[in-house]
C-alpha cells in the first residue's frame, strides 16, 4: 500500500472520529442540557418584591398572606416577611429535583411552594441545606454524599406527621417540557411504596412524586391534583 493511500485512510478515519465525537457530544447535551451549575446570578430574582409575590402564589391568599416568606440571596435563603400562621412560603430552585433529573441545574426553574407548620419544621430544612451546599459550589455528587451523611447521622429533623405543602402557583416554571405540570398538594410520609397509597392506579387521584424516595432522604412524596390555581381560576387536573 502506498504512503499516499495510508495518509488518506488515516485522514478519513480522523474525520469520522470527529463526526462521531461531535454526534456523541450533541446526544449527551440533548440528554443533559444542564450538566453543571450556571452562574449564581441566573438563579437569583433581582426584584425582591417579585420573589415574595411568587412565593405567596403557591397557596391561596387565606394561607399565604400570614405565612413567613423566604427569598434566595447570595448566602442562602433569607427571611423577607415574618409570618403569623406557621406556614412558610418560598420559591425553590431546580436543585430540589431528584439527583438524576436532567434539569437539576436548570436556572430557569422556579417552584413556589408553601409548607404547612409540620413541613416547615421537617421538610424545609432539606431545601435550606441543599441550597447551602449549592451556594458553596459543591458538585451534585458531593451534595448527595453530604445529604446521605446527614441522614445517617440524624443531623436533619425527623419527618413530622401531617407534613404537606401547597404548589398551586400558576406562575411556577417546573420544567422546560411544558413550563408547568399541574396545581397540586404534596404529602410527605416515611419511605414507602406507591401501592400503600394506591398511587398512579386507574381512577386514583393520588400520584407518586419521585423527589426524595430514599435518595438519600428517607421520605416518600405523594401528589394530589387540585382543580384550581391559588388565584381561584380553573387548573388542569393532570400533568401535561
Question: Three cell numbers at 201?
Answer: 392506579
What is the model's pLDDT at position 181? 67
Between CA 51 and CA 223, with CA 174 as vertex, the angle to 5 degrees is 105
- Return the closest-CA partner of residue 127 out of 52, 76, 172, 67: 76
Three-state secondary structure call for residue 23 = helix
Cα angle value 33/180/156 (rounded, 5°)? 80
Q: Where are the alpha helices (DSSP H) in the chain?
A: 3-31, 48-56, 61-64, 117-122, 124-135, 140-152
Query: What integer is the mean pLDDT of 70-74?
Result: 97
pLDDT one-digit tens code per residue, 144-176: 999 999 999 999 999 999 999 999 999 999 999
> Cα separation of 4 and 17, whole Å?
20
H or E stretch covering 186: strand 184-190
> Over the stretch 29-47, which tens digit does the pLDDT of each residue have?
456 789 999 999 999 999 9
Query: Looking at the predicted structure, is the pLDDT value of residue 6 above 60?
Result: no
| pLDDT for res 118 | 98
Task: Find the mean pLDDT for residues 108-136.
Answer: 97
pLDDT band at 236 (very low <50, low <70, confident <90, very high): confident
Q: In whole angstroms, give the CA distance from residue 209 to residue 217.
A: 13
> In this predicted structure, which of 58-62, 88-92, 96-100, 118-122 has the lowest mean pLDDT?
96-100
**How confident is the model over 54-75, as a mean pLDDT?**
98
- Hey, is 79 helix, strand or coil? strand
Amino acid at each position: 500500500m502506498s504512503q499516499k493511500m495510508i495518509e488518506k485512510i488515516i485522514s478519513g478515519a480522523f474525520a469520522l472520529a470527529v463526526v462521531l465525537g461531535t454526534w456523541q457530544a450533541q446526544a449527551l447535551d440533548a440528554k443533559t442540557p444542564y450538566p453543571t451549575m450556571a452562574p449564581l446570578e441566573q438563579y437569583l430574582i433581582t426584584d425582591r418584591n417579585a420573589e415574595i409575590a411568587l412565593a405567596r402564589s403557591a397557596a391561596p391568599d387565606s394561607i399565604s398572606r400570614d405565612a413567613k416568606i423566604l427569598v434566595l440571596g447570595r448566602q442562602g435563603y433569607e427571611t423577607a416577611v415574618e409570618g403569623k400562621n406557621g406556614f412558610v412560603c418560598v420559591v425553590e430552585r431546580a436543585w430540589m429535583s431528584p439527583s438524576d433529573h436532567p434539569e437539576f441545574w436548570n436556572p430557569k426553574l422556579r417552584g413556589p411552594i408553601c409548607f404547612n407548620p409540620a413541613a416547615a419544621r421537617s421538610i424545609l430544612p432539606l431545601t435550606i441545606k441543599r441550597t447551602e451546599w449549592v451556594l458553596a459550589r459543591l458538585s451534585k455528587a458531593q451534595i448527595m454524599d453530604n445529604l446521605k451523611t446527614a441522614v445517617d447521622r440524624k443531623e436533619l429533623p425527623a419527618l413530622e406527621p401531617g407534613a404537606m405543602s401547597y404548589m398551586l402557583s400558576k406562575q411556577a416554571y417546573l420544567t422546560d417540557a411544558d413550563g408547568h405540570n399541574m396545581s397540586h398538594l404534596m404529602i410527605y410520609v416515611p419511605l414507602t411504596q406507591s401501592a400503600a397509597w394506591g398511587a398512579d392506579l386507574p381512577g386514583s387521584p393520588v400520584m407518586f412524586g419521585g423527589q426524595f424516595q430514599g435518595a438519600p432522604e428517607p421520605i416518600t412524596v405523594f401528589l394530589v391534583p387540585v382543580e384550581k390555581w391559588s388565584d381561584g381560576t380553573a387548573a388542569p387536573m393532570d400533568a401535561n
